[in-house]
Amino acid sequence: MPIGNPDHPDSTQSADFFSLRLFIAGASPVSARAVVNIRAICEEFIAGRYELDIIDAHQQPLLVQQEDVTAIPMLIKKSPVPIKKLIGDCSDRAKVLKGLGISY
Amino acid sequence: MAKSKNQLERRSTGTIPKTLTGISGLDEITLGGLPSGRPTLVCGEAGSGKTLFSIEFIVKGAMDYGEPGVFMAFEEKAEELKANVASLGFDLEQLEKDKKIRLDYVHIDRSEIEETGEYDLEGLFIRLGYAIDSIGAKRVALDTIENLFAGLNNTAVLRAEIRRLFQFLKSKGVTAVITGERGGNGLTRQGLEEYVSDCVILLDHRIINQISTRRLRVVKYRGSVHGTNEYPFLIDDEGISVLPVTSLELNHEVSTKSLPSGIAALDKMLGNSGFYKGSSILVSGTAGTGKTSIAATFANAACLRGEKCLFFAFEESPKQIIRNMRSIGLDLQKHLKEGTLEFYASRPTLYGLEMHLVAIHKAIRKSKPSVVILDPITNLITIGSVSDVKTMLVRLIDFLQAEQITVMFTALTLNNIVNEQTDEGVSSLVDAWLLIRDIESNGERNRGMYIMKSRGMKHSNQIREFVITDKGLDLVDVYLTEDGVLTGSAREARMLMAQTGEVIHAQAVSRKDRELERKRKILESKIESLRSEYESAEEELNKVYVEEALKKQIMGETINKIADLRRGDESGKEKNVNKKNK
Distances in whole angstroms, Cα of residue B253 to Cα of each of B248, B250, B404: 14, 9, 8
On average, the pLDDT of chain A sits at 82
CB nearest B126 (choices: A37, A58, A98): A58
Gap from A98 CA to chain B (nearest CA, Å): 9
When pLDDT is averaged across residues B20-38 and rounded to a whole number, the result is: 86
Q: Which of A73-82, B137-146, B240-249, B307-316 has the lowest mean pLDDT?
A: B240-249
Distance of alpha carbon B556 from the chain centroid: 112
Q: Can you give the length of chain A in residues?
A: 104
Is the domain spanning B258-477 CATH 3.40.50.300? The answer is yes
pLDDT for the residue numbered A14: 58
pLDDT tens readout for residues B222-244: 888 777 788 888 887 778 888 76
pLDDT tens readout for residues A21-75: 999 988 888 899 999 999 999 998 888 888 999 999 999 888 888 888 888 899 9
Task: For the beta carbon of residue B386, count every other beta carbon within 10 angstroms.
Answer: 14
- Amino acid identity at B136: G
Are B40 and B34 spatial neighbours (Cβ–Cβ below 8 Å)? yes
Residue A82 preceded by cis peptide, ω within 30: yes
Helices in B173-317 by DSSP H: which ranges? Answer: 264-269, 291-304
Interface confidence, given as ipTM, is 0.84
Strand partners, B203: B44, B216
Residue B245 has pLDDT above 60, yes or no: no
Are B328 and B468 spatial neighbours (Cβ–Cβ below 8 Å)? yes
Beta-carbon separation of B116 and A89 below 8 A:
yes
* DSSP E strand boundaries for B326-385: 341-345, 371-375
pLDDT for the residue numbered B54: 92
Output B109 or A31, whichever has higher pLDDT.
Answer: A31
Residue A12 preceded by cis peptide, ω within 30: no
Residue B131 neighbours by CB under 8 Å, 6+ apart: A65, B70, B72, B102, B104, B137
Question: Which band of pLDDT confidence, cut at 50, 70 and 90, is reported for residue A11?
Answer: very low
Are B359 and B345 spatial neighbours (Cβ–Cβ below 8 Å)? no
Q: Exposed/middle/buried for B307, CB within 10 Å: 0-12, 13-18, 19+?
A: middle
Beta-carbon separation of A72 and B106 below 8 A:
no
The rounded distance, in Å, linking the Cα atoms of B352 and B214 is: 9
pLDDT tens readout for residues B248-283: 456 667 778 888 888 888 888 888 788 888 888 888
Distances in whole angstroms, Cα of residue B441 to Cα of each of B188, B463, B489: 67, 16, 10
Chain A contact for B122, CB < 8 A? yes
pLDDT for the residue numbered B175: 93
Size of interface A-B (CB pairs under 8 A): 103
Residue B139 has pLDDT above 90, yes or no: yes
pLDDT for the residue numbered A7: 47
- Amino acid identity at B548: E
Buried b (16+ CB within 10 A) or exposed e, B91-103: ebeebbeeebbbb
User: For residue A96, which residues of chain B lie inside 8 Å, CB to CB?
Assistant: 114, 116
On average, the pLDDT of chain B sits at 82
Question: Which band of pLDDT confidence, cut at 50, 70 and 90, is reported for residue B576?
Answer: low
Residue B188 neighbours by CB under 8 Å, 6+ apart: B41, B43, B146, B180, B181, B182
Which DSSP helix (H) or strand (E) runs through A33?
A: helix A29-45
Residue B295 has pLDDT above 50, yes or no: yes
Question: Which band of pLDDT confidence, cut at 50, 70 and 90, is reported for residue B520?
Answer: very high
Rg of chain B over all Cα atoms, to the nearest angstrom:
47
Half-sphere exposure of B245 (CA within 13 A, CB side): 17
CB nearest A71 (choices: B105, B107, B119): B119
- What is the SS3 assignment for B253? coil
Phi, psi of B260 (to 5 degrees): -65, 150
Are B123 and A74 spatial neighbours (Cβ–Cβ below 8 Å)? yes
- Amino acid identity at B360: I
Pairing mode, if any, of strands B69-73 and B18-19? Answer: unpaired
When pLDDT is averaged across residues B352-363 and rounded to a whole number, the result is: 80
pLDDT for the residue numbered B549: 92
The rounded distance, in Å, linking the Cα atoms of B36 and B397 is: 34
Output B231 or A2, whichever has higher pLDDT.
Answer: B231
Question: Which band of pLDDT confidence, cut at 50, 70 and 90, is reported for residue B205?
Answer: confident
Is B79 one of the catalytic residues?
no
When pLDDT is averaged across residues B170-198 and rounded to a whole number, the result is: 83
pLDDT for the residue numbered B168: 92
Percent of chain B clearing pLDDT 70 (strictly above):
90
Q: Exposed/middle/buried for B392, CB within 10 Å: 0-12, 13-18, 19+?
A: buried
pLDDT for the residue numbered B68: 93
DSSP-derived secondary structure letter, B246: P
pLDDT for the residue numbered B14: 53
CB nearest A87 (choices: B116, B129, B130): B116
Strand partners, B472: B469
Highest mean pLDDT out of B116-130, B348-362, B457-471, B478-492: B116-130
SS3 content of chain A, % helix, strand, coil (to 5): 30, 25, 45
pLDDT for the residue numbered B310: 92
* Calculated CA dihedral for residues B390, B449, B475, B405, nearest 10 degrees: -10
Beta-carbon separation of B130 and A64 below 8 A:
yes
> CA nearest B161: which of A35, A30, A65?
A30
Residue B177 has pLDDT above 90, yes or no: yes
Identify the contact set of chain A against chain B, taking CB-CB distances under 8 A.
23, 25, 28, 30, 33-34, 37, 57-58, 61-62, 64-65, 68-75, 82-92, 95-96, 98-99
Chain A contact for B111, CB < 8 A? no
> CA nearest B143: which of B50, B253, B35, B277?
B50
pLDDT for the residue numbered B131: 92
The rounded distance, in Å, linking the Cα atoms of B296 and B258 is: 18
Question: Which band of pLDDT confidence, cut at 50, 70 and 90, is reported for residue A4?
Answer: very low
> CA nearest B172: which of B142, B147, B145?
B142
The rounded distance, in Å, linking the Cα atoms of B113 and A99 is: 8
pLDDT for the residue numbered B72: 92
Which DSSP helix (H) or strand (E) runs through B59?
A: helix B50-64
> CA nearest B285: which of B436, B67, B434?
B436
Interface test with B, best of A30, A87, A95 (most B CBs within 10 A): A87
The rounded distance, in Å, linking the Cα atoms of B171 and B86 is: 33
Domain boundaries, chain B: 2-242, 258-477, 492-572
Helix and strand numbers (H, E) in chain A are 3, 5
Which DSSP helix (H) or strand (E) runs through B574?
A: helix B571-581
pLDDT for the residue numbered B144: 84
Is B524 one of the catalytic residues?
no
CATH class as words, domain B2-242: alpha beta
Question: Which band of pLDDT confidence, cut at 50, 70 and 90, is reported for residue B79?
Answer: confident
The rounded distance, in Å, linking the Cα atoms of B79 and B105 is: 9
Residue B19 has pLDDT above 80, yes or no: yes
> CA nearest B124: which of B84, B89, B169?
B169
Beta-carbon separation of B116 and A91 below 8 A:
yes
The rounded distance, in Å, linking the Cα atoms of B331 and B314 is: 20
Are both B2-242 and B258-477 of the same fold?
yes
> CA nearest B343: which of B324, B317, B361, B368?
B317
- What is the SS3 assignment for B289? coil
When pLDDT is averaged across residues B151-166 and rounded to a whole number, the result is: 87
